[in-house]
Chains A and B, each alone.
Chain A
Amino acid sequence: MTGAVRPRPRAATSVDAAFDALFVRERTAMVRVAYLLVGSEPLAEEIVQEAFASVYARWDRIDNHGGFLRQCVVNGARSALRRRSLERRKAQLLVDDGTAPAGRELLDALAALPLGWRSVVVLRFYEGMTQEEIAVALDMRLGTVKSSLHRGLAKLREALEP
């Protein structure tokens, strides 16, 4: 991180070291989560880059950096999809041309879910988080996580199983 970003060098040193560790540990996983949420790798990278910037800017005031990062990724995906929905009345995922057919089917099925359900499903089954962890990370009630998971999985099953 450049000195211009952090005006206090002594504080910046420890913050940057901790942030670097988080960045290295979470970058790829977060891009993949974002990819599953929005279906586009370039857009996923943009979302994650913005999310890391939000975490960095608020580092000292965040207790759960990983949770806040995931919240920012989900919020970034929501924002990106909302922007897209303004361009396309009905929001659909834009799947990269290079996506394998199996992956495309899954991404299309995910795209049919409301983002809240989609986020919970991805964090539960891609990241392997528990429902309690998801509730904390996304600042949702546990009951909401459970109902989102239940309804999202039911929809996915309809779409994916022959």
Chain B
Amino acid sequence: MSDDPIDPAFGQELAARLHEAADPVDGAGVTRAGVAAVVERRRDRHARTRALVLGAAAVVVLLAGLAAFVRSGGDAPEQVVTATPSTTEAACVPAPVVTAPAGWFRLSAEQADALLAAGAITRDQADQRAEHAVLLTHDGLQVLSDPEVGPLGDQLRDLGYEDSAGIELLRSEGLLTPEQETAVADRIAPVLEQAQVDRVFDAFPDLLAIAAGGQPFPSAGGTGFSPSGGAATTTEPAGSGGGCEAGG
């Protein structure tokens, strides 16, 4: 404790008061059976999400094939089955919400590896994951929600920083450096100076999303970014959320 920036007496008093407040809590409500139930519930949820995504992909392929069939004049049913969807033939695209930014996320090495393998982030973003948060799309989050990867998608969602207000404030006041603007444009969170963090805290004292103190401040500043609200509802609607039109 010698390098703690506080005098020992206050530290000891604080420790005693923390124990006084928390030690009566026995945690009896947390049980192994309860943990097992949570694990099971998550597995079910992942399975459902996976089924929804696969189902949505099937809808896209089906509609693309239908579009090809319509353009062919309807005289070759086999083409419906074998038609390969392409961006030019299929006017049906995944709902924009899926590819929209979900927020800035600080990644572990394992998460970065999974995202890199899936093409959801770039090598530069993966290499800089220790210093910079990365702007992920809802598609990217879906990669990490795969049962093979585990509940990291949920965890990331919890870790997400959905508030762009801080970056927007700094930008509006001319406090972002060109390097920071470049980082934002590259979809990685800029490293902020302590003074910038302090400015944001002053402006938004109850902004939980930037509660990391002097930590590099992940926020959103890219154009078209919706600051909040989208992340909780956006991983499922790949084909069901609209944006589909029969081509022709």
Name A's B-contacting residues (CB within 8 A). Answer: 1-2, 4-5, 20, 23, 27-28, 30-33, 35-36, 41-42, 44-45, 48-50, 52-54, 56-58, 61, 72, 75-76, 78-79, 81-82, 85, 89-91, 99-100, 102-103, 106-107, 114-117, 121-122, 124-126, 128, 131, 139-141, 143-144, 146-153, 156-157, 160-161
Flag whether B48 is at the interface (Cβ < 8 A).
no
Pick the contact of A107: B21, B30, B208 (CB < 8 A): B21
Flag whether B118 is at the interface (Cβ < 8 A).
no
Whether B35 pairs with A35 at a CB distance below 8 angstroms is no
C-alpha gap A100/B150 in the complex (Å): 40
Whether A23 pairs with B35 at a CB distance below 8 angstroms is yes
Shortest Cβ distance from A115 into chain B, in angstroms?
Answer: 5
C-alpha gap A156/B21 in the complex (Å): 15
B contact residues around A156 at 8 Å (CB): 14
Whether A91 pairs with B208 at a CB distance below 8 angstroms is yes
Contacts beyond the supplied A48-B30, A61-B150, A140-B215: 6 A-B pairs with Cβ under 8 Å: A53-B151, A82-B158, A125-B14, A144-B212, A146-B3, A151-B213
Whether A53 pairs with B18 at a CB distance below 8 angstroms is no
By Cβ-Cβ distance, the 9 closest A-B pairs, closest first, are A31-B27, A114-B211, A103-B21, A53-B38, A79-B158, A45-B29, A32-B22, A147-B214, A148-B213
Whether B21 pairs with A102 at a CB distance below 8 angstroms is yes
- Contacts A2-B36, A32-B22; A27 near B30 (Cβ below 8 A): yes
C-alpha gap A126/B6 in the complex (Å): 15
**B81-113 interface (Cβ within 8 A of A):** 106, 108, 110
Flag whether B50 is at the interface (Cβ < 8 A).
no
Flag whether B155 is at the interface (Cβ < 8 A).
yes
B22's closest neighbor in chain A, by CB? A32
**Interface range, B side:** 35 or more
Name B's A-contacting residues (CB within 8 A). Answer: 3-6, 10-11, 14-15, 17-23, 25-27, 29-32, 34-36, 38-40, 42-43, 106, 108, 110, 150-152, 155, 158-159, 194, 201, 206, 208-215
**What is the count of residue pairs linking A and B with beta-carbon distances less than 8 angstroms?**
173
- Contacts A153-B10, A157-B6; A78 near B21 (Cβ below 8 A): no
Whether B211 pairs with A116 at a CB distance below 8 angstroms is yes
Whether B22 pairs with A36 at a CB distance below 8 angstroms is yes
